Structure 1
Amino acid sequence: MRVCQLLSLLCLLMIAGVCRAAAADTTGEFTNPLLGSGPDPWVIQHKGYYYYLHTTGHNLVIRKTARMSELGKAPEVVVWTPPRKGPNVRDVWAPELHWLDNKWYLYYTAGSSDSIHPQHTFVLENTAEDPTAGTWTDRGQIKDTAADYFAIDGTVFTYRRQRYFIWSGHNGKDNVQRLYIARMSTPWTLASPRVEIAAPRYAWEQNGVNEGPEILKNNQGDVFLVFSACGCWTENYTLGIMTLKKNADPLQPGNWTKSPEPVLKSKPENGAFAPGHNGFFKSVDGREDWIIYHANSKAGQGCGGARNPRIQQITWRPDGRPDFGEPVKINTPVKRPSGE
């Protein structure tokens, strides 16, 4: 009899747990982080779905979901595994997915099998409508032939009908990570020499690192470049911002202005250590702008897999500049993106 009573009690507890979970799903709220691990997160919206990627270190994986707040429910699909030898076989980092010329292009960073050559950026092409399906064709390295140095965290930026590639790299003289831009002729070919548009200059950019560049635009057409600074191995990893002069040439360094203060930094009491490497997306109904970024939940976790993805809404100031606020507190209910 006692065994039967115990089993009945366990069943009731399980049912209650399911009911609580179902109730949580209908509250219109979610909690950060979205996943237990997710360094260098990236998301793009396409025809009713969000496609999410992050660094695994050894392959390229995509999650597909209709609701970003429910990312944890989306299964992983491995879309590419590196070859055993070659220039792009190890330390696979910072994947980004872009829909260009009615095809998918997946940009990523990787290193050579000889362990001598540094990290470079590469791209894959897929003609399928759904990037979790179809076949990926290797389009090779995105390369500035005049300066083939360390190059990571590549992203694509379209402005005034022209496409540009922006990345973090070295100048061949020191190990400082600078931000570079070049014009593109195809999604895998640079059509101009690289131009340096940013280098560490402020105290909060210590350790010689500017990386993870991402473009954000407001409704008035203003262009902002949000980047990561300092070093992911420290608690001072942070986000900075640059502004492009209105209707100006992005290839002219003087047309970019770096703000003297960071825009998102650690908040230990919120479980947010070393926030950085961000991306942006719109809510389902297009009414809200959101940022996705990674952070550690505890001090001293460094650059590894403990970094996890968080999302929060961006607000806009009267002058058109974005306001990221402070990192939201983990494990605390947050209102879902509008339309979910």
Structure 2
Amino acid sequence: MSLTNPFIEQRADPFVYLHSDGYYYFTASVPEYDRLELRRAQDLAELATTNEIVDVWHKPSSGPYSDLIWAPEIHYIDGTWAIYFAAAPNREIVDNAFQHRMYAITTQADNPLEGQWSEPTQVDSGLASFCLDATCYKHNGQWYYIWAQKDAVIPGNSCLYIATMDSPTHLSSEPVLLTKPEFDWEVQGFLVNEGPAVLHRHGRIYLTYSASATDERYCMGLLSIDENADLLDASNWHKALSPIFVTDEEKHIYGPGHNSFTTSKDGQRDYMIYHARNYKGIEGDPLWDPNRHACIQPVLWSEDGLPIFGSPQNEIEFEG
């Protein structure tokens, strides 16, 4: 079957998780930045039309996580559902709106759409600065937490870090810097490395991330590491010199980025879920333009086992 992009409209920073119950779970930033929305479907394509959509948490009117709720991800960590998100104090109280920290809510419910969720807990990296866009990954029995945070010394808005976890809300190692914005394509408008996503295939772990301002210059970079190497040793990671997914002017797909990965039900086909706009004439601050839409793109593989991301497509051939 063919599937047309946008896949789900006005849902930025899209995250899809295929659980052992056979459901695909989807969450993303909503244009109002005021809540955590969760939906599920038994078919990946049906996430766009499902009636199973629940707002599992709304921001309070005041406090440390009362504004600009960004980039949620849902993970199942050893029997606990966790939704990670970035949030800031209310802008009426804090002069600088961008004081984000990372938080998590959790539930032990079988169906997270019906669960009683905890109050947010801050996931403290030990670095007292702007942070966002956390993801988690289990490798060789150990959970890892990967996120974006502003460094006190390195110029720019955010770098990527990794640490081990001993619970869904607690890190068990010191942060390790993986990458900073340094190439020309990473410093357009803003100096940004953010939105990490893990893809593990053919003996290597790939980590995509997004760079530059959130307009048509937004694009994706790639780190990779041998699956047998120490993930906390930054020297083991290889950084691609060029972006791997960029704006396609001809197709009117602008600023593709902040992706996640999922698979077909049988695990044989990989898909990348990302957001993009279909125009570049943004009026005002791009942050308040609601039209970053969730899109879907198949990930292919070379004979050497390397990922082929291609260019953004308006229509894809989809096999669930």
TM-score norm. by structure 2 comes to 0.91
Name the structure where strand makes up a greater proportion of residues. 2
Equivalent residue number for residue 125 of structure 1: 106
Cα deviation for residue 71 of structure 1 reads 2.2
CA distance in 1, matches of 2:216, 2:272: 20
CA distance in 2, matches of 1:175, 1:200: 7
Cα deviation for residue 160 of structure 1 reads 1.8
Listed as ranges, the matches of 1:195-274 within 5 Å are 195-206=176-187, 207-218=190-201, 220-232=202-214, 234-274=215-255
**Corresponding position: 1:284 with 2:268:** no
Cα deviation for residue 133 of structure 1 reads 0.7
Equivalent residue number for residue 40 of structure 1: 13
CA distance in 2, matches of 1:235, 1:90: 26
Cα deviation for residue 129 of structure 1 reads 0.9
The 8 Å contact of residues 203 and 226 in structure 2, kept in 1 or not, is answered as no
**Secondary structure class of the residue paired with 2:8:** coil
Going from structure 1 to structure 2, the CA distance change for 1:246 and 1:281 (only over 3 Å counts) comes to closer
Of 66-75 and 117-126, deviating more is 66-75
Cα deviation for residue 126 of structure 1 reads 0.7
**Corresponding position: 1:324 with 2:298:** no
Cα deviation for residue 139 of structure 1 reads 4.8
RMSD of the alignment, in Å? 1.5
Query: Matched residue pairs, number?
Result: 305
Report Cα offsets for 1:185-230 as digits up to 9, x if no partner. 1110011121111001211111311000111111x33101000011
CA distance in 1, matches of 2:290, 2:185: 24
**Secondary structure class of the residue paired with 1:138:** coil
* Counterpart pick for 2:26 among 52, 65, 69: 52
- Letter paired with 1:214: A
Equivalent residue number for residue 140 of structure 1: 121
Of 68-77 and 265-274, deviating more is 68-77
Report Cα offsets for 1:123-163 as digits up to 9, x if no partner. 01111111111100125111023x22111000112122111
Cα deviation for residue 289 of structure 1 reads 0.5
Cα deviation for residue 175 of structure 1 reads 3.7
* Counterpart pick for 1:194 among 175, 181, 184: 175
- Letter paired with 1:261: S
**Secondary structure class of the residue paired with 1:228:** strand
CA distance in 1, matches of 2:185, 2:268: 33
Q: 4+ residue stretches of structure 1 with deviation over 3 A?
A: 173-176
Structure 1 gaps, min length 5: 1-27
Equivalent residue number for residue 97 of structure 1: 74
Equivalent residue number for residue 172 of structure 1: 152
Report Cα offsets for 1:25-46 as digits up to 9, x if no partner. xxx2221111221110001011
Name the structure where helix makes up a greater proportion of residues. 1
Cα deviation for residue 55 of structure 1 reads 0.3
Cα deviation for residue 171 of structure 1 reads 1.2
CA distance in 1, matches of 2:82, 2:319: 26
Structure 2 gaps, min length 5: none
The 8 Å contact of residues 120 and 151 in structure 1, kept in 2 or not, is answered as yes
The 8 Å contact of residues 181 and 194 in structure 1, kept in 2 or not, is answered as yes
Q: Percent identity?
A: 33
Report Cα offsets for 1:10-59 as digits up to 9, x if no partner. xxxxxxxxxxxxxxxxxx22211112211100010111111111102100
**Corresponding position: 1:336 with 2:318:** yes
The 8 Å contact of residues 39 and 55 in structure 1, kept in 2 or not, is answered as yes
CA distance in 2, matches of 1:278, 1:236: 15
